[in-house]
Structure 1
Amino acid sequence: MTLYRSDQMGGMPTQISEFDNRSFVKKSQLACIHELKKRVQANKGVKTYNVLSMFVPLGLDETAVEEQLFIDLNTFGARRGDVAHRGLHAIMTLPDPKEDKILSERIISSLENFEAHLATATL
């Protein structure tokens, strides 16, 4: 998938000869790679938005991913954020280790399925 970004490419080529002169396709591909690297490096989260922002530009069909994975990642991310950003003293109810273990195991299983999907998908 080649992303077109006019601000970085100097405008869409209007003649065939401009493709060779500016290496339009190569520049477009490099711009896409650079943008994706920035997204991956800037990613600090585990919620749906964080996962999709890294994989959709590669061609991931998000509808093929188990919805439960996104639900669990959002739950995990919210719990993690509560502790990381507000502190343990701000949490009204203490985490239940048994419940967290179940959630973690479900996320690991879903991520294994996600990885298998990525390995067989045509991105």
Structure 2
Amino acid sequence: MAKSRRLRQLISRLNFLEANILPAERINGNYTKKEQDLIRSYVLLCHAEIEAYIEDKAKDRISKALADWVSTRKRSSCLKSVLAYTGNEIDFSRDQNAINNIEHRIQRTVGHYLNAVVDRNHGVKEKNIISMLLPLGIEYNELDQTWLGIMESFGATRGNIAHNTTQVQNQIDRNTELTRIKNQILPELERIDELIRKLK
């Protein structure tokens, strides 16, 4: 399966974070306070990279579909899907340009998706993922339900780290987080990368 340039960038960045932030594995699992902070930092930074990857893929795909339509009037299921999902969220009644100009209407709808959905996204939980991917034309049943549960848990872990002091946080296991990111999250992102690439 061919990986997009953006996915290769994500993988490279996650490998860099693993090599440069995660402390060495301790067989007994007892990490110092500094090492625990490094593990927390690893989770936060990986979360940010994964979130940015999903947002960038959504932006790139719909922007390409819009550019193709504007330049050649090439129709795409991706563009139709965004229009179907977000078109009803916009009040066109006072927009005179939208009444007589389909290109203006399409540009405004895509702009709404980019600004109100993608740019305002904050997280990688199920609701965040489906709000960005379903409007592109990916079907809900194409998303692995186990993976969505893993992303829900990953998002909750990130939230706990980001919004609580260390006094109220449980110790984070280095290997559990590394395994979750490398072996549970990343392989499904590779499949989603391919789903987005195949959107017409």
TM-score w.r.t. length of structure 2: 0.51
* Counterpart Cα distance in 2 of 1:101 and 1:7: 42
Q: Give 1:85 deviation, angstroms.
A: 1.1
* Unaligned residue ranges in structure 1 (runs of 5+): 12-19
Aligned to 1:14: none
3-state SS in 2 of match to 1:9: coil
| 1:19-54 Cα shifts (integer Å, max 9, x gaps) | x9611x323312221111111111120111111111
Counterpart of 1:29 (choices 103, 106, 129) is 106
Deviation, 1:83, is 0.7
Shift in CA distance, 6/84, structure 1 to aligned 2, threshold 3 Å: closer
Higher relative CO (CA 8 A, sep ≥ 6), structure 1 or 2?
A: 2
Q: Which runs of 5+ in 2 are unaligned?
A: 1-79
Match for residue 10 of structure 1?
A: 93
Residue identity over aligned pairs, in percent, reads 20
Q: Which amino acid aligns with 2:181?
A: S
Aligned partner of 2:157 in structure 1 is 79
Query: Is the CA contact (8 Å cut-off) linking 2:125 and 2:155 kept in structure 1?
Result: yes
Letter in 2 for 1:8: D
